[in-house]
Amino acid sequence: MNDDIRKLFPVTRKYIYLNHAAVSPLALPVVEAMHGIIKDVSDNGVVNYQHWLKRYMEVRAMVAQLVNARPEQITFMRNTSDGLSAIANGYDWRAGDNLVTCNVEFPANIYPWLRLKAEVGIEVRMAEERDTRIDIDEMLSLVDERTRMISISFVEFASGFRFDLARIGKFCREREILFVVDAIQGLGALSLNVERDCIDAFAADSHKWLLGTEGVGVFYISDRALELIKPTVVGWMSVNDWENYLDYRLNYRPGALRFECGTPNTVGIYGLGGALEMILGVGIEKIESYLIELGDYLCEGLQSKGYTVVSSRRDGEKSAIICCAHQKHSPASLYHRLKAQNVICAPRCGRLRISPHFYNTKDEIDTLLDLLPE
């Protein structure tokens, strides 16, 4: 990526920041957008409220453009857990129904289903990670006539394993099973296309690869899923004509907007808009290609120094997350050693997790490799 992009990230003045799978640093366009709306409210209160509503729609349209959806299929929520819980709680489950997932999901994509197991009596079936991969054939073999959903991550947080969404989505579509995706560890770094991948719903907070801030997430729901998922958290903005305050008809807004129940995180949405303009300006295909190439370069360097690359490097399973391990050095000790030199990664589940974004460079990867002990 060119220097103009890199200059947008003040974090580069002090750190080699390789921890975007946790929380991304804010770029200047994001900060400026957030400062702008804060200044507006400080100076004008609610006078420019109609401008805020217009910006919500513009940012919604940018999310839709990123994933090949329609704007009315996109809504804003607080975080990934919010969106996944909306799907879990809004479906008409029956005791004996089952959901298929895997045993290395981030808890946001586990606890909503475990609550249903405890309170409704559904079965939660988990494919097992083997050699840091999920065998998709094995996972799909868990499906039977009582399977109502498959819910998996776009990319697994502790291994970087990337699912073949299109294959799973097609399998679900053919069997009228809902396909739900926790997209937070890929959206903004890798290409996701809800039509190509036959996704019925996804959720993702904006503070990782989307380069936004915490507290604002994006949520997508397909037309067919909308017929099966009912809103369970309903507020004043869930209905048509929501500014007619004393008209109490429960007449839901079209599409995903019915799940947007109340006052949104305006500052967060403005920040997300700044980030999306930057991502769309570069192009998600270009970003993905660069990150896969950078990951290959990193993996070659790690292996040359005696590290085991845990993340799958098979075609189609690569992501922007690279996890590694060493027989002599613990992930925690490596993390602290690197942090002392202002190189920021993360220890996760017995592995060192390295997660660069599109403004990181090969020179920074070389510095990381030089600092790692043999």
Range list of β-strands (E), 129-256:
129-130, 133-134, 147-153, 178-182, 201-205, 217-221
Choose among 366, 371, 311: nearest CA to 338.
371
3-state helix, strand, coil in the chain (%, to 5): 40, 15, 40
pLDDT in tens, 179-188: 999 999 999 9
The radius of gyration computed from the CA coordinates of the chain, to the nearest angstrom, equals 21
Beta bridge partners, 221, equal 201
CA distance 91 to 120: 12
Answer whether 0.75 is exceeded by the pTM: yes
pLDDT in tens, 269-314: 999 999 999 999 999 999 999 999 999 999 999 999 999 999 999 9
Q: Are the C-beta atoms of residues 200 and 256 closer than 8 Å to each other? A: no
Q: Which residue has the tokens 């453009």?
A: 65
Whole-angstrom CA distances from 341 to 33, 226, 306 are 31, 49, 21
Choose among 189, 245, 192, 244: nearest CA to 220.
192
- The set of residues, in sequence order, having a beta carbon less than 8 Å from that of 300 and lying 6+ positions away, is none
| Mean pLDDT confidence for 38-61 | 98
What are 275's two structure tokens?
């980030």
pLDDT in tens, 4-38: 999 999 999 999 999 999 999 999 999 999 999 99
Percent of the chain beyond pLDDT 70? 100
CA distance 101 to 113: 10
Mean pLDDT across the chain, nearest whole number?
97
CA distance 262 to 117: 29
| Mean pLDDT confidence for 183-212 | 98
pLDDT at 2 > cutoff 80: no
CA distance 323 to 136: 21
Instruction: Just give the CATH number of 33-281.
Output: 3.40.640.10
pLDDT at 1 > cutoff 70: no
pLDDT at 277: 98
pLDDT at 141 > cutoff 90: yes
Q: In one letter, which amino acid is 304?
A: S
Confidence of residue 346 (pLDDT cuts 50, 70, 90): very high
pLDDT at 190: 98
Percent of the chain beyond pLDDT 90? 99
Q: In one letter, which amino acid is 27?
A: A
CA distance 267 to 205: 14
Whole-angstrom CA distances from 266 to 62, 271, 272, 320 are 16, 9, 10, 29
CA distance 159 to 319: 10
Domain boundaries, the chain: 3-26+283-371, 33-281
- The set of residues, in sequence order, having a beta carbon less than 8 Å from that of 202 and lying 6+ positions away, is 67, 83, 154, 180, 181, 182, 183, 187, 192, 194, 219, 220
Instruction: Give me the architecture of the 3-26+283-371 domain, per CATH.
Output: Alpha-Beta Complex (3.90)
pLDDT in tens, 144-174: 999 999 999 999 999 999 999 999 999 999 9
pLDDT at 166: 98
CA distance 153 to 202: 9
pLDDT in tens, 259-269: 999 999 999 99
pLDDT at 3 > cutoff 90: no
Beta bridge partners, 16, equal 343
Q: Are the C-beta atoms of residues 325 and 331 closer than 8 Å to each other? A: yes
Choose among 106, 214, 110, 124: nearest CA to 160.
106
CA distance 218 to 62: 11
